[in-house]
């Protein structure tokens, strides 16, 4: 065969191969546009990264927590918002911690809001950022903060019933369940870069420890080779390198689809294996969400201080709080020229310490035995209807240097029996502050939000104080009518927040008289 013919055949083979690859890639883009495999894949990679222990032993530096923007290269210009439609009732009650949540409609759906669609609309553009509390879990859009705020800000138009007139405010709910401040940073960049925001409401802080695991604070024997404790192991470096490589390859939608299917298959195998192992030892396994209130389960399943090191939790907590502070500052400064409102997180004061993680009886192992003795004695005295004696027993055992969430919880129960509700609320708040893991450190989270507001000069809505005043006006305590589980506001709570924000954001309402229950709690540094 002549040499020119062989060259021509080789050239045709290459052209044919390129055409096949182009066709596969085109199909990949078409499939990804519908099912968004690449976005799900990169979010899965990110979750694997942050699931690694933040601090594994003293002296080891915390791994840098990446954001969605780091994983995706921040090249996705789309903005996902909650759709403004109701979810039909499936006829099944939602039960959380033994409590039935009325009118619950569980959904986590999102739709794409394009920049062209946004800029073509009239009215001030309001964007809500946050996690599940801001998203409005588990209610219909009309009963959430975004829905109520949309109605209150456009109240005059609703009264006039003129659908042809454009609304004065457009409220976009960009929150999503499970998101923490790391997830909100790229969303803020996307809004500031591709949209025209005028008002930003940040209602976040509940999920900063959502991916924390007790294994990151496991007590370990002293390392013999101390210099190596501050370095990443070869396995860590290999995993991170492989993940970065796969993320880069995922720019090809065909490869992203193949990676996602493999990733999903692997995750399902791991979940099935974990489920089988869990069921095998179910009787002795600590279970989350056993009780919404009460301390019995928490006392029966305390954290084992032979394995859990409270000193490492203290370091881990500070690391997360510092990152929360940095992320909030970055988000606020992203919106230069916009009005930004930070909202503190209200919470269920009386939430059981067993809600998410085992709790240590005492942060000091040397005092664990004495604290356990005091807890057992106080519990027995409460059962004998002696709350005053039980309170004295707990106060004699408590010390400021030794933290014990269970001790403060039972102290709150004693004060409830004695009718001293404001003191009981403070005791439950101390319990929530000292709880390890997800939904602990509520007071610290709110202090960070307040400090960021003062540092950046943005507005601050103190939702915790707002909820407290409203609940007390309803002749109750512990936010029992305003929060239905651990941290999610009820429709009444969402309406209260929306009314307070409307008084801040709508200048035409500044001179309107309002009742004392709905007066907003605002701090302008």
First to last CA, the chain: 85
Q: Which pLDDT value is given to residue 71?
A: 40
Phi, psi of 128, deg, nearest 5: -105, 125
DSSP code of residue 257: H
CA distance 460 to 449: 8
Residue with tokens 């396995």: 235
Number of H helices, E strands in the chain: 19, 10
The token duo for 388 is 């005053």
Nearest in space to 326 (alpha carbons), one of 127, 509, 67, 504: 67
CA distances from 153 to 63, 375, 502 (A): 43, 50, 6
DSSP code of residue 153: H
Q: Helix 491-505 to helix 145-153 angle, to the nearest 10 degrees?
A: 40
CA distances from 30 to 42, 95, 207, 252 (A): 18, 40, 34, 12
CA distance 43 to 179: 11
CA distance 450 to 454: 6
Provide CB contacts within 8 A for 342, sequence distance 6+. Answer: 202, 328, 332, 449, 452, 453, 458, 459, 460, 461
Per-residue pLDDT in tens (0 to 9) along the chain, 525 residues: 566 777 788 888 888 888 888 888 888 888 877 777 777 777 666 655 544 443 333 334 333 433 333 444 455 667 999 999 888 876 777 888 778 888 888 788 888 888 765 554 568 899 999 999 999 999 999 999 999 999 999 886 555 555 566 788 999 999 999 999 999 999 999 999 988 899 999 999 999 998 888 888 988 755 444 443 334 445 555 666 776 777 777 778 888 888 888 877 877 776 666 555 544 544 455 666 778 999 999 999 999 998 999 999 999 999 999 999 999 999 999 999 899 999 999 999 999 998 889 999 999 999 999 999 999 999 999 999 999 999 999 999 887 678 999 999 999 999 999 999 999 999 999 999 999 999 899 999 999 999 999 999 999 999 999 999 999 999 999 999 999 988 999 999 999 999 999 999 876 654 443 444 444 455 433
Q: Which pLDDT value is given to residue 97?
A: 76
Burial 37-68 (b: 16+ CB within 10 A, else e): bbbebbebbbeebbebbbbbbeebebbebbbb
The token duo for 166 is 């454009």
Q: Which pLDDT value is given to residue 58?
A: 37
Q: Which pLDDT value is given to residue 64?
A: 40
Provide CB contacts within 8 A for 363, sequence distance 6+. Answer: 310, 314, 402, 403, 404, 434
Instruction: Sketch out the chain's domains with CATH numbers.
Output: 79-208+334-349+451-523 (3.40.50.1110), 365-434 (1.25.40)
Cα within 13 Å of Cα(505), Cβ side: 29
Q: Which pLDDT value is given to residue 22?
A: 86
């Amino acid at each position: 065969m002549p040499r020119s013919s062989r060259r021509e055949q080789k050239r045709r083979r290459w052209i044919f191969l390129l055409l096949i690859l182009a066709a596969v890639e085109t199909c990949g883009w078409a499939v990804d546009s519908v099912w968004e495999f690449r976005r799900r894949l990169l979010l899965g990679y990110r979750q694997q990264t942050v699931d690694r222990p933040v601090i594994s032993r003293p002296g080891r530096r915390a791994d840098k927590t990446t954001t969605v923007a780091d994983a995706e290269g921040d090249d996705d210009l789309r903005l996902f918002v909650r759709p403004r439609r109701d979810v039909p009732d499936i006829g099944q009650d939602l039960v959380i911690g033994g409590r039935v949540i009325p009118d619950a409609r569980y959904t986590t759906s999102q739709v794409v809001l394009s920049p062209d669609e946004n800029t073509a609309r009239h009215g001030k553009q309001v964007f809500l950022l946050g996690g599940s509390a801001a998203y409005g879990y588990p209610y219909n859009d009309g009963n959430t903060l975004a829905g109520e705020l949309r109605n209150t800000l456009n109240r005059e138009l609703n009264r006039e019933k003129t659908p042809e007139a454009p609304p004065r405010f457009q409220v976009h709910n960009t929150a999503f369940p499970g998101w923490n401040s790391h997830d909100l940073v790229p969303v803020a960049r996307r809004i500031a870069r591709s949209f025209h925001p005028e008002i930003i409401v940040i209602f976040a802080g509940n999920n900063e420890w959502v991916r924390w695991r007790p294994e990151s604070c496991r007590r370990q024997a002293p390392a013999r080779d101390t210099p190596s404790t501050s370095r990443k192991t070869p396995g860590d470096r290999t995993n991170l390198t492989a993940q970065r490589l796969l993320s880069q390859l995922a720019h090809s939608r065909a490869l992203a689809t193949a990676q996602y299917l493999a990733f999903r298959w692997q995750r399902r195998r791991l979940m099935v294996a974990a489920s089988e192992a869990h069921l095998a030892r179910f009787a002795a396994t600590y279970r989350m969400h056993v009780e919404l209130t009460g301390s019995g389960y928490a006392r029966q399943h305390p954290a084992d201080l032979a394995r859990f090191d409270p000193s490492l939790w203290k370091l881990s907590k500070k690391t997360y709080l510092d990152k929360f502070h940095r992320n909030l500052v970055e988000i606020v400064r992203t919106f230069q020229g916009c009005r930004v409102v930070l909202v503190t997180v209200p919470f269920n004061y009386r939430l059981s310490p067993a809600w998410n993680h085992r709790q240590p009886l005492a942060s000091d192992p040397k005092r664990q035995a004495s604290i356990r003795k005091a807890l057992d004695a106080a519990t027995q005295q409460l059962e004998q209807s002696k709350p005053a004696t039980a309170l004295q027993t707990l106060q004699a055992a408590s010390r400021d240097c030794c933290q014990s969430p269970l001790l403060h919880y039972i102290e709150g129960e004693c004060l409830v029996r004695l009718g001293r509700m404001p003191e009981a609320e403070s005791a439950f708040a101390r319990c929530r502050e000292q709880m390890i893991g997800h939904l602990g450190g509520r007071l610290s989270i709110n202090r960070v939000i307040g400090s960021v507001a003062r540092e950046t000069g943005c507005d601050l809505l103190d939702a915790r104080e707002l909820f407290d005043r409203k609940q007390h006006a309803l002749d109750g305590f512990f936010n029992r009518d305003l929060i239905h589980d651990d941290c999610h506001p009820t429709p009444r709570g969402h309406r209260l927040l929306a009314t307070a924000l409307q008084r801040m954001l709508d200048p035409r309402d500044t001179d309107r008289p309002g009742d004392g229950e709905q007066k907003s709690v605002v701090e302008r540094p």
